[in-house]
Amino acid sequence: MQAFKAETPGFVTDTAGLQCLFDVLADEGYRVVGPTLRDDAIVYGDIDGVTDLPSGWTDRQAPGRYALERRQDNALFGYAVGPHSWKKFLFPPIETLWSAHRGADGAMSVTVPERPADKFAFVGVRSCEIHAMAVQDKVFGEGAYVDAAYAARRSDAFIVAVNCAEPGGTCFCVSMETGPRAAEGFDLALTELIDAGEPMFLVETGSEAGRRILEQVPHAAATAAQAEAAMTVSERAAAQMGRSLDTSGIKELLQSNPEHSRWDDVAARCLSCANCTMVCPTCFCSTVEDHSDLTGQNAERVRKWDSCFTMDFSYIHGGSVRASGSARYRQWMTHKLANWIDQFGTSGCVGCGRCVTWCPVGIDLTEEVAAIRAVPDEGRSR
Amino acid sequence: MAPRPKLAVWKFASCDGCQLSLLDCEDELLAVAGAVEIANFPEASSAVVEGPYDLSLVEGSITTPHDAERILAVRAQSKFLVTIGACATAGGIQALRNFADVKDFIAAVYASPQFIDTLATSTAISAHIPVDYELHGCPINKVHLVEVVSAYLMGRKPAVAAHSVCIECKQRGNVCVMVQGTPCLGPVTHAGCGAICPAYRRGCYGCYGPMETPNMPALTREWRELGADGRDIQRALRSFNAWAEPFRQESAAHDD
């Protein structure tokens, strides 16, 4: 069993303290978003307080299946990640990049829309999601072309992590070494201690901003027993992963099997619907649409989430490069698990399991990798 | 000022809903009238300017020998021809006749069937003439109609995506109803509606017809997993876009 040890004993607070945290964040000008119930699912949306959290609910997840269930207790964070990821706030699904106007004198003016002043506080961020943000930071925030709007939203964000107690049936963060316990990348991290009946939270601080906010929230020093209980929560979670993925030599495995028969096998099941890429917290691809209006005097460029599963995505002169379903699935999975390492120095997968749960036909990438690994030399490039 | 392009709107077998979406543009309608000369649009005005026309919008399917002739004349006087809606692009709901014997329907419906002169099939406009652009949907999305006209005027490609409804659904933040147990046609259906039905917790009805790369057997296998039988699948696929090839072919595979 994976063992965890707290670096500092941390602090404890209760549900009232958590409510106070929400209030302090709101007073500090943050737009507080977190898990809440909607449409028989736990989604991320605006929350005012503790009563907006999915108290006493959990989720049952399997490939292509998701359902809520009542818990035996009143845990506020007793579930895994749902259909949404924080990406929708940091990298909005649809965003106007600029608009242009041609004046009566023929001169062009270009306007970049004012960025909403939202400063987000994300409450309930799981360790895998912190890793996903770090992956997207490399894409949008580093290199020669920084996405300024993303970078601003990201640096403004206040992260309240929650260490997972109840991994889902499609979780495999332990395999990806991205969880279940948040090690860094948060301002505050909570571990819910439910055994006492009513939720208690062990609080760790991860930044100066986190320490400053915590000072305004009623809390006490954690006892050694409470700190140990929090470690036990993470240890239990680590032992309950619904899935596992053997990552040893995965880059070479996938890169050397472009002709494996499994790609055709999965293509027979794959809908090319793109749901996996939409729910993936690291998938970053977008398209831009240019629109001119009826007068021909106004134009705008709109960025939208796109996917390597669409035909337009790989369209170049003469047609789409990845015309077959097997080519599109291979592109997605090989990029995510192998070529990403070449490109960004990390895997593109954080083991959150969303692509498995939210695939309408339940394609499980851990199973697809295992199938290729089982016959590793079959599809070597020639 | 250069003469404005002449726009004509033509109706074949249809409910008029798609051409009405042009009148439904409201905010943009004056801009449309300013950008093009509405030369032939009987639904809006009885004043008809003679052809040829620069841009023709064609609604409806071909169901009679007369219309099969008429569409040739429409093509002959149209420089750029766009079909709008499920009837014009796929044959419409009236293509259900294609799966049965139209004579039986005529006998059942009309007191004097000898006066009915109809074809055995309802077919898309593209089955009869070359079409320059197809705008899908039952009904079409008026935003797309304005986009297509704007793109035509600018000489650019319309920005109308051909991928699945799922992408629109996720962009909107909907929770997938299919993963929650409701059979949905979204994964095989052409985007365009903005994922209206899933936003209201219903499965997609496929109003916009097949998406660019539909994997029909994969979807219907999952429908059966979710408890749908052959009749459910066939009825879902045989609606407004029943005669669109991927839907037609898959529906025929579920005769159980």
Domain count, chain B: 2
A375-379, B51-55, B224-228: least confidently modelled range: A375-379
In a domain, B220, yes or no: yes
- For chain B, what is the mean pLDDT? 96
Closest to B126 (Cα-Cα) out of B81, B98, B89: B89
Q: How far is CA A301 from CA A92, A94, A110, A164, in A?
A: 14, 11, 11, 40
Residue B3 identity:
P
- For chain A, what is the mean pLDDT? 95
Q: How far is CA A147 from CA A151, A166, B95, in A?
A: 6, 35, 49
In a domain, B16, yes or no: yes
Q: Do A274 and B215 touch (CB under 8 A)?
A: no
Give residue for tokens 């403004």.
Answer: A156
Distance CA A126, CA A131 (A): 9
B44 and B116 part of one domain: yes
In a domain, B160, yes or no: no
**pLDDT tens-digit readout, B110-127:** 999 999 999 999 999 999
Q: Do A294 and B147 touch (CB under 8 A)?
A: no
B184 and B72 part of one domain: no
Residue B27 has pLDDT above 70, yes or no: yes
- In which band, very low, low, confident or very high, does the pLDDT at A4 lie, cut at 50, 70 and 90? low
Residue B189: give the domain boundaries: 165-252
B79 and B143 part of one domain: yes
Give the closest of B178, B213, B214 to A360, CB-based.
B178
Q: HSE (CB half, 13 Å, CA atoms) of A160?
A: 25
Q: Which residue of B has its CA nearest to A86?
A: B173
Q: Angle at the Cα of B232 (from B228 to B236), degrees rounded to 5?
A: 120
B147 and B173 part of one domain: no
In a domain, B15, yes or no: yes
Distance CA A138, CA B107 (A): 69
Smallest CA–CA distance, residue A321 to chain B, in Å, is 14
Residue B141 has pLDDT above 70, yes or no: yes
Q: B-chain residues within 8 Å CB-CB of A310?
A: 161-163, 167, 212
In a domain, B62, yes or no: yes
Residue numbers of A between 191 and 210 with CB closer than 8 Å to B: none
Residue A146 has pLDDT above 60, yes or no: yes
- The sheet carrying A158-162 orders its strands as A41-46, A31-38, A120-125, A158-162, A188-193, A200-205, A11-14, A220-221
Give residue for tokens 């051909």.
Answer: B162
Residue A205 identity:
T
Q: What is the mean pLDDT of residues A34-62?
A: 97
Q: B-chain residues within 8 Å CB-CB of A82?
A: 175
User: What's the pLDDT score for residue B87?
Assistant: 98
B139 and B175 part of one domain: no
Residue A102 has pLDDT above 80, yes or no: yes
Q: What is the mean pLDDT of residues A119-130?
A: 98
B218–A contact, CB cutoff 8 A:
yes
Q: Do A290 and B171 touch (CB under 8 A)?
A: no
B131 vs A3, residue with greater confidence: B131
**pLDDT tens-digit readout, A41-51:** 999 999 999 99
B116 and B149 part of one domain: yes
CATH number of the domain at B75, please: 3.40.50.700
Structure tokens at A86: 């924080």
A121-125, A143-147, B55-59, B77-81: least confidently modelled range: A143-147
Three-state DSSP at A129 gives helix
B215–A contact, CB cutoff 8 A:
yes
Question: What is the rounded radius of gyration, in angstroms, for the C-alpha atoms of chain A?
Answer: 22
Residue A203 has pLDDT above 70, yes or no: yes
Q: What is the mean pLDDT of residues A12-26?
A: 97
User: What's the pLDDT score for residue A3?
Assistant: 66
A&B contacts, CB < 8 Å: 136
- In which band, very low, low, confident or very high, does the pLDDT at A2 lie, cut at 50, 70 and 90? low
B33 and B125 part of one domain: yes
A224–B contact, CB cutoff 8 A:
no
Q: Do B164 and A271 touch (CB under 8 A)?
A: yes
Q: Do B215 and A293 touch (CB under 8 A)?
A: no
B240 and B130 part of one domain: no
Smallest CA–CA distance, residue B113 to chain A, in Å, is 45
In a domain, B159, yes or no: no
Residue A5 has pLDDT above 90, yes or no: no
Q: Which of B4, B22, B175, B212 to mutate to test the interface with A (most CBs of A within 10 A)?
A: B175
In a domain, B59, yes or no: yes
Structure tokens at A99: 């608009």
Give the closest of A67, A278, A290 to B159, CB-based.
A290
Residue A382 has pLDDT above 60, yes or no: no
Percent share of chain A, pLDDT over 90: 92
Smallest CA–CA distance, residue B83 to chain A, in Å, is 19
Three-state DSSP at A240 gives coil
**pLDDT tens-digit readout, A338-348:** 999 999 999 99
Q: How far is CA B186 from CA A354, B135, B233, in A?
A: 18, 18, 14
CB-based contact A104:A110 (threshold 8 Å): no
Give residue for tokens 């909107």.
Answer: B172
Closest to B85 (Cα-Cα) out of B180, B188, B208, B189: B208
Number of residues assigned to chain B: 256
User: What's the pLDDT score for residue A1?
Assistant: 52
CB-based contact A68:A61 (threshold 8 Å): no
Percent share of chain B, pLDDT over 90: 90
A310–B contact, CB cutoff 8 A:
yes
Distance CA A159, CA B170 (A): 24
Q: What is the mean pLDDT of residues A155-176?
A: 97
Distance CA A250, CA A272 (A): 24
Give residue for tokens 């919008």.
Answer: B57
A225–B contact, CB cutoff 8 A:
no
Of all helices (H) and strands (E), which one includes residue A150? helix A148-156
Domain boundary among B154, B180, B197: B154
A321–B contact, CB cutoff 8 A:
no
B134 vs A5, residue with greater confidence: B134
Closest to A204 (Cα-Cα) out of A255, A144, A160: A160
Three-state DSSP at A1 gives coil
Exposed/middle/buried for residue A195 (C-beta within 10 Å: 0-12, 13-18, 19+): exposed
Q: Do B171 and A93 touch (CB under 8 A)?
A: yes
Residue A321 has pLDDT above 90, yes or no: yes
Q: Do B167 and A40 touch (CB under 8 A)?
A: no
Distance CA B60, CA B49 (A): 22
Q: Angle at the Cα of B134 (from B131 to B136), degrees rounded to 5?
A: 150
B32-46, B88-102, B128-142: least confidently modelled range: B32-46
Q: Which residue of B has its CA nearest to A322?
A: B213
B98 and B191 part of one domain: no
B141 and B216 part of one domain: no
B175–A contact, CB cutoff 8 A:
yes
Three-state DSSP at A227 gives helix
Distance CA B137, CA B207 (A): 6
